[in-house]
């Protein structure tokens, strides 16, 4: 650990030691400092030349063999020029098992520890643990921005088929995928999906993530995505000058609104889906569809005849089989 301490970190360490000598909080400060150094090392190793990293979070249920994580990694390998993007992917493990599996499968892994919370199980949508996990993520992403890294955040149930970077708006601070895209990337009425976004590190995005995270207290019981879809209208966004854009589902699609043309698709999200088994079922079909498309001769690809066979088990009909009340079905659309 010692060789990693820069002069600045040593100075910071001294300040913390001196200022908290008689405080019961001291061990916690040290834990957080160590965590930040650990994170800095992982981010630095994975970053592109311009300090952009790709981030995803993972828990035990999604990291298990033959679960979401395997499909996620596979999509990068069979995607069009996406394989090399794995060099820039940092997996944020939320528990020990996810961390161990990440180390076995991937180069850049980071264990994010949260005291007193068990994020291991399948975090069922809208349970208190699910909410905590989602909010911990927003808080963590804020700290990544504060460290000066730009990031593409992606849920692991998003398949990467093409490099998204050419489709991002160069003048935007924060851009997000949508469950439903209404045709204009500036229109805040677009229904944002928090599972995929690109944030540039600057004062505006740092302020924005701080505001987003603090809004969990203003809207208790809501998850980060619902809150995003509320605060996107807030005058505070204009006040801080944040440029927010919404990404077209033609490139950044999902089961809510699939990317129609396989010649154009960058990413496909298993949103509008309840339950891990249904998600896995439909994601596997999605990968099969992609492979089938790739195997077509060039002229047939251009005919745009092939399309997705999903959603199947992820449809709203299958949701009702889970006996969810209508309110949850509506909310489920967003994940």
Ligand X SMILES: *[C@@H]1O[C@H](CO)[C@@H](O)[C@H](O)[C@H]1NC(C)=O
Work out whether 142 is an interface residue with ligand X (CB under 6 A).
no
* CB-nearest residue to ligand X: 121
Q: Where do we find the tokens 């993530």?
A: 209
Give the whole-angstrom CA distance, residue 262 versus residue 274.
25
Work out whether 203 is an interface residue with ligand X (CB under 6 A).
yes
Work out whether 121 is an interface residue with ligand X (CB under 6 A).
yes
Work out whether 278 is an interface residue with ligand X (CB under 6 A).
yes
Of 30 and 147, the one with the shorter C-beta distance to ligand X is 147
Do 243 and 172 form a contact (C-beta atoms < 8 A)?
yes
Of 114 and 202, the one with the shorter C-beta distance to ligand X is 202
**Beta carbon of residue 279, minimum distance to ligand X (angstroms, whole number):** 9
Work out whether 114 is an interface residue with ligand X (CB under 6 A).
no
Contacting ligand X (CB under 6 A), which of 120, 263, 306, 328? 120
Binding region for ligand X (CB under 6 A) out of 106-114, 118-126, 223-231, 253-261: 118-126
Exposure on the CB side of residue 241, measured as CA atoms within 13 A = 4
**How is 153-201 classified by DSSP, letter by letter?**
EE-TTEEE-B--GGGS-TT-SEEEEEEE--S-TT-TTSEEEEEEEEE--
Contacting ligand X (CB under 6 A), which of 118, 127, 189, 218? 118
Work out whether 302 is an interface residue with ligand X (CB under 6 A).
no
Binding region for ligand X (CB under 6 A) out of 82-90, 116-124, 129-137, 190-198: 116-124
Angle at CA of residue 28, ends 23 and 34, nearest 5°:
130
**Beta carbon of residue 313, minimum distance to ligand X (angstroms, whole number):** 4
Q: Where do we find the tokens 């207290």?
A: 217
Work out whether 127 is an interface residue with ligand X (CB under 6 A).
no
Query: Which is nearest to 273 in space by CA: 233, 331, 232, 228?
Result: 331
Query: Which is nearest to 168 in space by CA: 314, 50, 17?
Result: 50
| Residue ranges binding ligand X (CB under 6 A) | 118, 120-121, 201-203, 277-278, 281, 313
């Amino acid at each position: 650990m010692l060789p990693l301490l820069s002069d600045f970190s040593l100075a910071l360490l001294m300040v913390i030691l001196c200022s908290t000598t008689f405080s019961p909080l001291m061990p916690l400060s040290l834990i957080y400092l160590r965590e930040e150094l650990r994170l800095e090392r992982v981010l630095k190793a994975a970053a592109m030349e311009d300090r952009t990293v790709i981030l995803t979070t993972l828990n035990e249920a999604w990291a298990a063999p033959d679960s979401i994580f395997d499909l996620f990694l596979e999509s990068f390998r069979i995607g069009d020029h996406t394989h090399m993007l794995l060099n820039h992917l940092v997996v944020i493990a939320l528990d020990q098992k996810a961390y161990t599996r990440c180390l076995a499968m991937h180069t850049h892994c980071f264990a994010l520890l949260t005291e007193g919370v068990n994020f291991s199980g399948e975090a069922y949508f809208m349970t208190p643990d699910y909410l905590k996990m989602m909010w911990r993520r927003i808080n963590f992403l804020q700290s990544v921005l504060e460290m000066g890294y730009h990031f593409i955040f992606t849920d692991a149930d998003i398949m990467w088929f093409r490099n998204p970077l050419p489709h991002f708006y160069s003048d935007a601070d924060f851009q997000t995928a949508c469950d439903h895209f209404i045709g204009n990337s500036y229109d805040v009425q677009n229904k944002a999906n928090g599972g995929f976004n690109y944030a540039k590190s600057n004062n505006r995005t740092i302020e924005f993530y701080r505001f987003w995270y603090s809004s969990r207290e203003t809207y208790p019981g809501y998850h980060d995505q619902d809150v995003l879809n509320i605060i996107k209208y807030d005058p505070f966004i204009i006040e801080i000058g944040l440029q927010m854009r919404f990404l077209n589902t033609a490139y950044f699609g999902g089961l809510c609104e699939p990317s129609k043309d396989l010649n154009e698709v960058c990413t496909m999200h298993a949103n509008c889906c309840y339950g891990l088994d249904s998600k896995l079922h439909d994601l596997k079909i999605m990968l099969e569809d992609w492979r089938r498309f790739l195997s077509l001769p060039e002229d047939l690809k251009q005919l745009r005849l092939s399309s997705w066979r999903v959603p199947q088990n992820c449809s709203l009909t299958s949701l009702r089989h889970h006996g969810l009340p209508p309110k949850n079905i509506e909310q489920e659309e967003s994940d």
